[in-house]
C-alpha cells in the first residue's frame, strides 16, 4: 500500500521481501477469503498502550477511502451485514495478485528472498525507509521480530509482544476428550476470578484446549493477562437463550416424559453428544443414569454446568498459530500523522510492527492499509 501510493507520485520504490513471494499473510486471511477491512472503524476496535494513536490514520484512510482505492485497482468489495468486508471474488489470492501487479505496473521494484539484516546500511542508501515487517505472528509465513530489532537500533522502546486472535490451552483433560466437538455459545473471560468480557460465537474443542471465533475474540485480553501472570479462566454458556430456571424446568419436564431414557439421551437434544458426555464426566454424573432417578438437585447441577462450564486457561497456542500480535514499537515515539520515527528522521513504521492490534473482523488489515497510506502521504509531501 505504501509503495503504491509513493509510486503514484512518481517516486522510485524498492520493496525488500524476505519470502519468495509477497503477501503470504493476505493469502491465508479469512480462511482464504480475505476479510479485507470493516465498514465501521473506530479507535475502540484497537488495543495498545495508546489506542488513540490510530485516530488520524482511520480518519484519513477509512472505509470510504479504501473502497475508492480498491476500485481503482479493479477490486470490488462486498460488505456483510455486520460490517465485515470481502472481495467480490471471495478469494484472497485475487487481493494479493491485484496489489502486487498494480505495484509492479507503477514501477515498484520487488526484491524477493531479500532479508534485511542491517537497517542502518539501508538508511544510508535511501532517502526514506519504511519498516512494515509485521510481528512474530504466523512465523511459518515469515512472521518475526526483525522490525522491532530495527527500531531498537535507533533507541526505540518496545512494548512486550504477545499472541492475539489465537487459540487457548486449557488446564483440563476433559477438553482433550472433547476434541473435534463444535457448537455455538457464549464465552466469558474471567481475570483473577472477575468477569472481564463476553463473546458469542462458535466454539471448537481441540486436543490442546479450545478454539473458534468466540475464543479468538477474547484471546487478546486473555493473552495479555497470562503475560502478566494473572489467573485466567473461561466460562462457557452452551445455551445462552436459557436462564437457569428455564433450563432446569425444561430438563425436569424431559426427565418425566423420558423416564426410561438415560441423561445422555435427554441432553443430546440440547447440546452435541460429545460435549454432553464430557460435561457429565466433568460433573461426575454417570451418563447412564435414567430419567426417573434424576432428582431436582441433580437437575440444577446439570443446568448450571451447561450454562456455566468453567475451565482454567494455562497458555495460548503461541505466535505461530496467532493471526496477529499485540505489543511492538512504542507508538509514543511515532508521529501519528506521518508514521515517522520521532527518534530518526526519514524512518517510518507502519502496520503490525507497531503497538497496535485490532479486533477480529478486518480491523488489522484496515490499520495496515491506513498506516501504509499515511507513511506514503508524508514521504511524497517531503519529496
DSSP string over 212-238: SHHHHHHHHHHHHHHHTT--EEEEEES
pLDDT over threshold 90, residue 104: yes
> Up-side HSE of residue 163: CA atoms within 13 Å toward CB?
22
Average pLDDT over residues 53-82: 97
Cα–Cα distance for residue pair 313/229, rounded to 1 Å = 11
SS3 label, residue 340 = strand
How far CA 376 is from CA of 9, 10, 232, 237, 382, in Å, comes to 9, 12, 41, 47, 10
Cα–Cα distance for residue pair 286/151, rounded to 1 Å = 58
How far CA 192 is from CA of 30, 65, 234, in Å, comes to 33, 42, 11
Q: How confident is the model at residue 21 (pLDDT cuts 50, 70, 90)?
A: very high
Q: How confident is the model at residue 30 (pLDDT cuts 50, 70, 90)?
A: confident
Please answer whether residues 376 and 2 qualify as being in contact, where contact means their C-beta atoms are separated by less than 8 angstroms.
Answer: yes
| 114-172 pLDDT, tens digit each | 999 999 999 999 999 999 999 999 999 999 999 999 999 999 999 999 999 999 999 99
Q: What is the CATH number of domain 2-164+323-382?
A: 3.50.50.60
Cα–Cα distance for residue pair 25/137, rounded to 1 Å = 10
pLDDT over threshold 90, residue 52: yes
**Chain mean pLDDT for the chain:** 97
In the chain, CATH 3.50.50.60 sits at 2-164+323-382
Cα–Cα distance for residue pair 220/326, rounded to 1 Å = 8
pLDDT over threshold 90, residue 31: no
pLDDT over threshold 90, residue 235: yes
CB neighbourhood size of 59 (10 A): 12
| 302-342 pLDDT, tens digit each | 999 999 999 999 999 999 999 999 999 999 999 999 999 99
The three-point CA angle 159-20-86 to 5° equals 70
**Whole-number pLDDT of residue 151:** 98
| 210-230 pLDDT, tens digit each | 999 999 999 999 999 999 999
Amino acid at each position: 500500500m505504501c509503495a503504491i501510493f509513493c509510486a503514484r507520485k512518481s517516486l522510485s520504490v524498492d520493496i525488500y521481501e524476505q519470502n519468495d513471494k509477497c503477501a503470504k499473510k493476505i493469502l491465508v486471511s479469512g480462511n482464504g477469503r480475505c476479510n479485507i477491512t470493516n465498514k465501521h472503524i473506530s479507535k475502540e476496535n484497537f488495543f495498545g498502550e495508546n489506542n488513540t494513536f490510530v485516530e488520524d490514520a482511520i480518519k484519513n484512510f477509512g472505509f470510504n477511502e479504501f473502497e475508492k482505492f480498491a476500485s481503482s485497482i479493479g477490486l470490488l468489495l462486498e460488505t456483510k451485514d455486520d460490517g465485515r468486508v470481502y472481495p467480490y471474488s471471495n478469494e484472497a489470492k485475487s487481493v494479493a495478485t491485484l496489489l502486487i501487479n498494480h505495484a509492479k505496473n507503477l514501477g515498484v521494484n520487488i526484491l524477493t528472498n531479500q532479508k534485511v539484516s542491517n537497517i542502518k546500511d539501508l538508511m544510508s542508501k535511501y532517502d526514506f525507509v519504511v519498516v512494515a515487517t509485521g510481528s512474530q505472528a504466523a512465523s511459518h509465513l515469515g512472521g518475526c521480530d526483525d522490525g522491532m530489532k530495527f527500531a531498537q537500533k535507533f533507541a526505540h522502546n518496545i512494548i512486550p509482544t504477545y499472541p492475539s486472535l489465537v487459540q487457548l490451552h486449557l488446564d483440563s483433560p476433559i477438553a482433550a476428550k472433547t476434541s473435534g466437538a463444535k457448537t455455538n455459545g457464549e464465552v466469558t473471560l474471567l481475570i483473577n476470578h472477575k468477569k472481564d468480557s463476553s463473546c458469542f460465537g462458535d466454539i471448537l474443542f481441540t486436543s490442546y484446549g479450545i478454539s473458534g471465533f468466540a475464543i479468538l475474540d477474547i484471546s487478546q485480553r486473555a493473552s495479555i493477562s497470562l503475560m502478566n501472570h494473572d489467573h485466567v479462566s473461561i466460562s462457557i454458556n452452551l445455551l445462552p437463550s436459557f436462564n437457569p430456571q428455564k433450563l432446569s424446568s425444561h430438563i425436569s419436564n424431559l426427565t418425566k416424559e423420558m423416564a426410561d431414557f438415560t441423561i445422555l439421551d435427554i441432553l443430546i437434544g440440547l447440546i452435541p453428544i460429545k460435549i454432553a458426555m464430557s460435561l457429565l464426566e466433568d460433573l461426575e454424573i454417570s451418563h447412564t443414569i435414567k430419567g426417573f432417578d434424576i432428582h431436582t438437585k441433580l437437575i440444577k447441577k446439570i443446568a448450571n454446568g451447561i450454562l456455566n462450564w468453567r475451565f482454567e486457561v494455562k497458555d495460548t497456542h503461541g505466535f505461530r498459530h496467532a493471526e496477529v500480535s499485540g505489543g511492538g514499537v512504542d507508538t509514543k515515539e511515532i508521529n501519528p500523522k506521518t508514521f515517522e520515527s520521532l527518534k530518526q528522521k526519514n524512518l517510518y513504521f507502519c502496520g503490525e510492527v507497531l503497538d497496535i492490534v485490532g479486533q477480529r473482523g478486518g480491523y488489522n488489515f484496515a490499520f495496515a492499509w491506513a498506516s501504509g497510506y499515511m507513511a506514503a502521504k508524508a514521504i511524497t509531501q517531503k519529496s
